[in-house]
Amino acid sequence: MIVPALRDDLEILRTNSREDGSPAWLIYDALRNKYFTLGLTAFKLIKHWVAGQDIVNFEKKIKQEGLDVSKDEIVQFIGFLQSNNLIIQPGDKGVMNLMQQKLTTKQSWWMYVIHHYLFFKFPLFKPDAWLDRTLKYVKFFASKKFRYITYILGLIGLMVVMNQFEQFLTTFTYFFSTEGFFYYLITLVFIKSLHELGHAYVAKHYGCQVPSIGIAFLVMFPFLYTDTSDAWRLRDHRERLFINFAGILTEFHIAILSIFLWAVLPEGVLKSAAYFLATTSLISSITINVSPFMRFDGYYIFSDWLKVENLHPRSFALAKWWLREFLFGLNVPAPEILNPARRNALIIFAFFTWTYRFFLFLGIAFLVYHFAFKLLGILLFIIEIYWFILKPIITEVKQWWSIRKMIQFNQKVLRTMIFLGLGLFLLIFPWKSSLKIPAVYEVENYTKIFSPYDGRIEKIFVKKNEIVKKGQILIQLHSSKLEEEIVTTTRKIILAKREIGTLSQSAGNLDKYLTLSQQLVSLQTELLGLKTSQSKLVLRSPIAGQIKDFEQLSVKQWVNHTTPLMMIVNYDQGRVRGLINDSQIKRFQTNVSAKFIPNDGQHDSVKLMSKHIDLSAVQTLPYLALSSNHGGPIGIRNLTKGQFKERPEESYYLTEFKVLNTPKTKIEIPGYVFLSGSYYSPLVELVKNTIAILRRESGF
């Protein structure tokens, strides 16, 4: 084998030392704008590189230079250079190798579509020359003077916002309107453009080239990117850290200044614009850029802070190694030698990343499914679930199968077999019987006490939380208006009687006599009604129970007839009603002990007995507290505008329970009923639910 010639256009650069303190270099491929890291051994190989020499003679020469490298290691290094096209391949052999690489990377049309659907990017423009010309105009924004002014103004704005926090939060709900969402998108594009310029200008400040700024799509979700790969030239990792942190700092300073502007500007367009800038900067930075689990700013910041290159692949390799050792006890050396603390940190980071990505990609898959039309949504959902979640698991299981000959029976294998068997047993064997049903406890007998007229409280005969009997006097009221009407009516009666008494019994006065008599009867009836109403000013309890909502009443206080004065609650009469879905209805049993646990965590549980189930599915949800629109567990189907009834997304059936103990709770409180049903296998239940969902969603 002949040592190949290195490409003449490659550049060897010294970079900062690795995390173990050993020196490192970079190979820079200007044609592809790519960097390759070299360790000390690889650098010495290149330093003494002799193209065209037989590999045996080259090995001897290297050893004469004091470098202990075997022939296999040299061949492996040549393979690395060849696979990355860093060598000159003469004539037909070079063409054949390039063709082979192309055939290796060639994909079928459907794999090509899948890859480019999952991720692709477009460079929009080459900003390097423009950044050179404009750098001097933006350096002020990176000065200490500007930062101090920004922080002082931000502190003032934050103090004002804290005093008007309810107004600030109320404004946030504007995001959830169509118009608010549109303005949010416009603001997001503006903020992200400044974010990328922050990266670009800081990179240019440290002498790096910025070949492109563009837009990338991750599962059809767009985001801007800036190519700052030239930052690998920098010897000081802190400079790379500043470049990676520049975008977040840009958004942070915009948010601070926008909060100040929101606090001082009058109501209008400018105040609204400041609010959008502040909230958009904070939300996008927290939800997108800070996380180190995806390859956004947070990842590169975390990587540079740890001084760990290729953080994700290295941590993933260590985590897979740890998992295999934990399960099978292979006693295989770790992929790389690190001190235990750093190695454990990378392993933990890998597991957190996998967990984060699992839920993120699962959420994206559901989002894409719901936004696309049915057939395309199902297809894209399957692709994402397979590619991002199932494929890594399948690949790892295949790796386990490939090393099955290395697995020896030992204590760890025995432990794995026990836990695997126990897990399968728990999944397959029908041992589970518990049912969890969303329900509401409600008091059946309660009433609110109102004043029949606007008036003033004369006496209060009861106190808060007092137990009262039916008919017991609660409050005595006085109504000046009613009193005046009684006095006026009484005077009219007296005048009518006097006038009747003065009339003679002659025939000419008979008509007038009859008219006055009718008026007298009407006035007496009106007076009787007024006195009856006056008697109602003595408020009595219509039921036996306990007084609630009785905090702010006092003697001489004026009250109106529309505001409740108190509530009487009879806790002896309560009921629990739940809503059970299709998957649970077959396992529901009557005359079974149950327990209701309120959601608020402040009230005691209620002992129950299952009574009845209505086999007719509810058309509208009887309790808003159980609706997903109000924080409840039952999903609601969106109805036409103007309809106030809420219809469940799935079929639910009303169940009733007999209350065995009567707690003192709110009038209506949501929670869950826990009871035993017929036994079932969790795996079988999962399969049934999955099939039911597929049947439901395939109806298009």
- Mean pLDDT value across residues 260-274: 81
- Mean pLDDT value across residues 658-676: 84
pLDDT greater than 90 at residue 528: no
Instruction: List, for residues 213-228, the tens digit of each pLDDT value.
Output: 998 877 667 778 898 8
Count CA atoms closer than 13 A to 254's CA, side-chain side. Answer: 28
> Do both 299 and 334 map to the same domain?
no
> Do both 554 and 592 map to the same domain?
no
DSSP string covering 615-629, please?
-SPPSS-S-GGGBGG
> Do both 213 and 297 map to the same domain?
yes
pLDDT greater than 70 at residue 642: no
Beta-carbon contacts of 640 under 8 Å, excluding residues fewer than 6 positions away, are none
Domain-embedded: residue 680? yes
Domain-embedded: residue 380? yes
> Do both 120 and 62 map to the same domain?
no
Q: What per-residue confidence (pLDDT) applies to 426?
A: 86
**Contact at 8 Å (CB) between 346 and 309?**
no
C-alpha of 191 from chain center: 22
Q: Which two tokens stand for residue 580?
A: 């059970």
The band of 644, judged by pLDDT with boundaries at 50, 70 and 90, is very low
Domain-embedded: residue 317? no
> Do both 127 and 274 map to the same domain?
yes
Domain-embedded: residue 616? yes
Instruction: List, for residues 435-465, the tens digit of each pLDDT value.
Output: 899 999 988 788 888 888 888 888 888 888 8
Domain-embedded: residue 564? no
Count CA atoms closer than 13 A to 105's CA, side-chain side. Answer: 7
**Contact at 8 Å (CB) between 516 and 502?**
no
pLDDT greater than 90 at residue 160: no
**Contact at 8 Å (CB) between 443 and 669?**
no
Q: How far apart are CA 414 and CA 185, in angstroms?
A: 55
Q: How far apart are CA 490 and CA 237, in angstroms?
A: 98
> Do both 291 and 145 map to the same domain?
yes
Q: Which two tokens stand for residue 25?
A: 């270099």
Q: What per-residue confidence (pLDDT) applies to 697?
A: 66
Mark out the alpha helices in 55-108 (DSSP H runs).
Answer: 55-64, 71-83, 91-105
> Do both 465 and 421 map to the same domain?
no
Instruction: List, for residues 574-595, the tens digit of each pLDDT value.
Output: 889 999 988 788 888 888 899 9
CATH code, domain with 655? 2.40.30.170
Q: What per-residue confidence (pLDDT) applies to 173?
A: 56
Read off the DSSP letter of residue 442: E
Of 61, 88, 106, which marks where a domain is finished?
Answer: 106
Q: Which domain holds residue 386?
A: 327-428
Domain-embedded: residue 640? yes
| Strands annotated E in 473-565 | 473-478, 538-540, 545-548, 558-559
- Residue 567's H or E segment, with its range, is strand 566-581
Beta-carbon contacts of 579 under 8 Å, excluding residues fewer than 6 positions away, are 437, 438, 439, 618, 621, 623, 626, 634, 648, 652, 653, 654, 655
Of 428, 454, 481, which marks where a domain is finished?
Answer: 428
The band of 394, judged by pLDDT with boundaries at 50, 70 and 90, is very high
- Mean pLDDT value across residues 28-57: 85
DSSP string covering 139-162, please?
GGGGSHHHHHHHHHHHHHHHHHHH
- Mean pLDDT value across residues 244-272: 86
Q: Which two tokens stand for residue 253?
A: 């300073």
Instruction: List, for residues 319-374, the tens digit of each pLDDT value.
Output: 999 999 999 999 889 988 888 888 999 999 999 999 998 988 888 888 777 777 77
> Do both 189 and 247 map to the same domain?
yes
| pLDDT over 70 percentage in the chain | 89
Domain-embedded: residue 314? no
Least Cα distance to 482 among 501, 458, 454 occurs for 454
> Do both 599 and 468 map to the same domain?
no
**Contact at 8 Å (CB) between 127 and 213?**
yes
> Do both 540 and 490 map to the same domain?
yes
> Do both 490 and 410 map to the same domain?
no
Number of domains observed in the structure of the chain? 5
* Adjacent-strand bridge partners of 659: 608
| pLDDT over 90 percentage in the chain | 18
Domain-embedded: residue 267? yes
> Do both 364 and 457 map to the same domain?
no
Of 369, 400, 428, which marks where a domain is finished?
Answer: 428
Beta-carbon contacts of 24 under 8 Å, excluding residues fewer than 6 positions away, are 14, 15, 16, 17, 18, 37, 38, 39, 40
Beta-carbon contacts of 603 under 8 Å, excluding residues fewer than 6 positions away, are 663, 664, 665, 666, 669
pLDDT greater than 70 at residue 640: no
